[in-house]
Structure 1
Amino acid sequence: MSPDATPDPYADPIAFGQRLKILRTRRGMTRSQLGGLMGMSDEWVKALETGRRKVPRLEVMLRLAEVLRVRDLSDLTGDQSAHVALFTGPGHPQLAAVKSAVDAFPVATVREAPPAEHLAARLAHAWAARHKSPEHRTVLGGLLPDLIRDAQVAVRQADRAPDRRAAQATLAEVYSLAQFFVAYQPDAALLWRVAERGLIAAQESEDPHAIGVAAWLAAQAHRDSGPAHFDAADAVNLETLRYLEPLLPDATDDVLAITGALTFEAGYTAARRGETGTAWRYWDQARKLAKRLPDDYYHPITSFSRAIMGAHAVTVAVELHAGGESVRQAARADAITIKSRPRRARHRIEEARAYQLDGQPDVALATLDKAHEAASETIRYNGYAKRIILEEVEARQPERRRRASELAVKLGLLAQ
């Protein structure tokens, strides 16, 4: 290796501090930024990186992994016996089948496309099944391969320009559904392929709702890639909002809702940056858009609605690491009103993060139990839930250790 090359923390037997510095640099973070997100100083980070401070205890290590979006704890510790995937799920049995369908290139296929109405009905059924099932990835894994292939063929076989645009809108929505399945699974390249194809199909459709949904998911993919990608998330998000804004006076409920969802996403990214005022300003703008929707309206993809704004408030407060405010927002939010089981489970996980931030680990574990009841395949793939559980497995209190261990077994973190 060249003396000027950056060591690879995944291959070279280097010290913890060196790993920390490399991973921080790869995320595009300064010592001050990392220290601020940890509630510490840049000198604290420097002391860790230079070896002047000892390797931190487990709860601090897990927090570092969360902030740096480290996929596996051993990548940070260097201890391969501590192999724990944090932000990547275990890989669903149907992942290969979905990947095969995404990768197909149906140029000369003899497969006949189903009627547009039939394809739309199947897609609506798939969304409804996802929202209702606690094992939503398993449900989608069975539906997506044929749905993807048929939507691809429908675009290829559309003869008239209006039919082709409508087929592209359907294909974009199928890719959006696929992104929900692929997210947090161990194939980042596939996730980006799905996101990019969704954006292209949406643009070809010229359908504002399809464009908004594809941008909403692309912004999330960028943001979840770490601080170095926050600007890219904002670029996609804010450009799409500028496109949608002139349409709002006469917009359908679905277009109004995806605009609200995108507005909140801008606040979510701001909260990740630690920009308190900006985060809450976007949240308030999203709440005003939600108030223009009917009381019982739920966006079929994002769950954006009046009811979801309480859950969004919890997320903003948690991302800003405001423990007391997070708990206050959690008390105001009513998870029962969230119709989608995966979205309800995600909200319970955000509540658990709030209680953990506020020094209430027992309540956090009880809340994660509720998340598991709502949608087991949401919590199983969620890095924040894993972090809380792994931290409490090391707790001094026997009862807390027992509850955390039971959850760890449910999630497959520990063998039974």
Structure 2
Amino acid sequence: MSSDATPDPYDHPVAFGQRLKILRERRGMTREVLAGLVGMSGSWVKRVELGQLQAPGLDMLMRLAQALRIRDLSELTGRPDMSADLFIGPGHPRLAAVRAAVDALPLGAPVAAPPRAEHLAARLAAAWAARHSAPDHREKIGALLPDLIRDAQLAVQYAEAPADWRAAQAVLAEVYSLSQFFLAYQPDSSLLWRVAERSMVAAQQSTDPHTIGVSAWLLAQAHRDTGPDHYDAADDITQQTLDYLTPLLPDAADDVLAVAGALTFEAGYTAARRGETATAWRYWDTAKDMAAQLPAPYYHPVTSFSQAIMGAHAVTVAVELHAGRESVRQAARADADTIPSRPRRARHRIEQARGYQLDGQPDVAIATLDQAYEAAPETIRYNGYARAIILEEVESKGADRRRRASELAVRVGLLAA
């Protein structure tokens, strides 16, 4: 290594301030720029780097790591015991209450009137409706989940007839499915896995095809989003569930056809992550044909599978294949306004922004992320792709783009006001 090369902060144990300076300089970032990204002064950054101030607390560590676009917190701290995936969003204020409900054991004396599965199903439907219509959807379902989880567990525990027990298991599985939407991208991956696995077990106990399909769809996503080492597991879950559902489809209700279509697209999504272009588009084509069999206004409340979503799915396939020009072409064809769910519409806008960024159109990407924020602020706040684009453009050399990205960063919570 030449004497004028940038040192590797992991060659030897170094103080936090030295590590911060090395990583900042590798990013080509001045102290003033880093300070602005984390809401501090340039002199504060200098004093930390010189060891005149102690290493900051966890909240500031997270801000520094995000500003430096470091994926793992241990890269900044030098401590493997402080590893954290920074593609994870912030912890929601209701996370602790949801975690407590999941971890609680519904033991004790029998309740006077155990919840009935049909009543729980109605409450669950209302919760899904709230999720789709509210800009602060995590807040809405986070408030409802603790009681839903407890009551669904009780319904299973105190069901007497076998049919009632299976119906209660179906509701419990879907309550856990709703929980996964709340827990996604939050800093408790072990809780997300626990809920995903419990959902699958309850679904199998229910013997209901739709419930099994929904739980498998979410479990496959959990595997795929964990990384390439889990792609095979995601494919296995998807294919086994499709093998189970396919013979039922000729006589199936719309919800079963929809979840089979959602699983078919998931197979294409994973193929796109692998870079398998032909396979990814083949699955998308098949899923589009399945969506065409559904009534035009139909919209599946869990998977969003519908005719309206297929344009958004095409954008996702192109983005995951890193095809910038195709992403933009698909984005131009997809009509976000036809997606009735606010968080799903925001997610689509984020995927469009990824496409514009890939195609070298950062100004359009920022404008599209503004639209995502207007649709559902909580969606963009927890989305790692959106956060990465915003942080990148906060450092843009273009003054107007830098200003608009900074304003959005403040609204999303990435920068101090």
| Interval containing the TM-score (normalised by the shorter chain) | 0.7 to 0.9
Q: Distance in 2 between matches of 1:208 and 1:116?
A: 17
Q: Distance in 2 between matches of 1:310 and 1:74?
A: 30
1:96 matches 2:96: yes
1:197 matches 2:198: yes
- Within-5 A mapping of 1:360-371: 360-371=361-372
Quote the residue 2:72 is aligned against.
75
Quote the residue 1:151 is aligned against.
152
Q: Distance in 2 between matches of 1:350 and 1:313?
A: 10
CA contact (8 A) 1:355 1:364 kept: yes
Cα deviation code 1:113-157 (max 9, x no counterpart): 222222111100000000000000000111000000000000001
RMSD (Å), alpha carbons: 2.1
CA contact (8 A) 1:345 1:370 kept: yes
| Deviation, structure 1 residue 79 | 3.1
Inter-CA distance 370–336: structure 2 relative to 1 (3 Å threshold):
same
Match of 1:14 among 10, 15, 18: 10
Cα deviation code 1:62-120 (max 9, x no counterpart): xxxxxxxxx97262783359x99742111001001001111111132544422222211
Q: Distance in 2 between matches of 1:169 and 1:342?
A: 25
Q: Distance in 2 between matches of 1:136 and 1:109?
A: 35
2:94 is matched by which residue type in structure 1?
Q
- Within-5 A mapping of 1:267-416: 267-416=268-417
CA contact (8 A) 2:130 2:140 kept: yes
1:78 is matched by which residue type in structure 2?
E
Q: Distance in 1 between matches of 2:89 and 2:376?
A: 14
2:220 is matched by which residue type in structure 1?
A
Inter-CA distance 351–203: structure 2 relative to 1 (3 Å threshold):
same
Q: Distance in 1 between matches of 2:141 and 2:386?
A: 22
Q: Distance in 1 between matches of 2:362 and 2:149?
A: 42
Bigger Rg over Cα: 2
What SS is found at the alignment partner of 2:226?
coil
Inter-CA distance 122–292: structure 2 relative to 1 (3 Å threshold):
same
Q: Distance in 2 between matches of 1:74 and 1:175?
A: 29
What SS is found at the alignment partner of 1:75?
coil
| Deviation, structure 1 residue 15 | 5.1
Quote the residue 2:55 is aligned against.
none
With normalisation by structure 2, the TM-score equals 0.82
Cα deviation code 1:41-70 (max 9, x no counterpart): xxxxxxxxxxxxx95768xxxxxxxxxxxx
Q: Distance in 1 between matches of 2:11 and 2:314?
A: 39
CA contact (8 A) 2:199 2:215 kept: yes
1:168 matches 2:169: yes
1:100 is matched by which residue type in structure 2?
A
Determine what percentage of the aligned residue pairs are the same residue: 70
Quote the residue 2:234 is aligned against.
233
With normalisation by structure 1, the TM-score equals 0.82
What SS is found at the alignment partner of 2:305?
coil
CA contact (8 A) 1:152 1:171 kept: yes
Inter-CA distance 132–14: structure 2 relative to 1 (3 Å threshold):
same
Aligned residues: 355
CA contact (8 A) 2:291 2:305 kept: yes
Cα deviation code 1:322-363 (max 9, x no counterpart): 000000000000000000000000000000000000000000
Q: Distance in 1 between matches of 2:286 and 2:121?
A: 32
1:285 is matched by which residue type in structure 2?
T
Q: Distance in 1 between matches of 2:191 and 2:156?
A: 21
1:232 is matched by which residue type in structure 2?
A
Q: Distance in 1 between matches of 2:28 and 2:324?
A: 21
| Deviation, structure 1 residue 270 | 0.3
Q: Distance in 1 between matches of 2:167 and 2:84?
A: 44
CA contact (8 A) 1:84 1:413 kept: no
Inter-CA distance 74–280: structure 2 relative to 1 (3 Å threshold):
closer
Quote the residue 1:124 is aligned against.
125
What SS is found at the alignment partner of 2:91?
coil
| Deviation, structure 1 residue 13 | 5.6
Quote the residue 2:42 is aligned against.
none
1:14 is matched by which residue type in structure 2?
Y
Q: Distance in 1 between matches of 2:220 and 2:275?
A: 18
What SS is found at the alignment partner of 1:78?
helix
Inter-CA distance 255–109: structure 2 relative to 1 (3 Å threshold):
farther
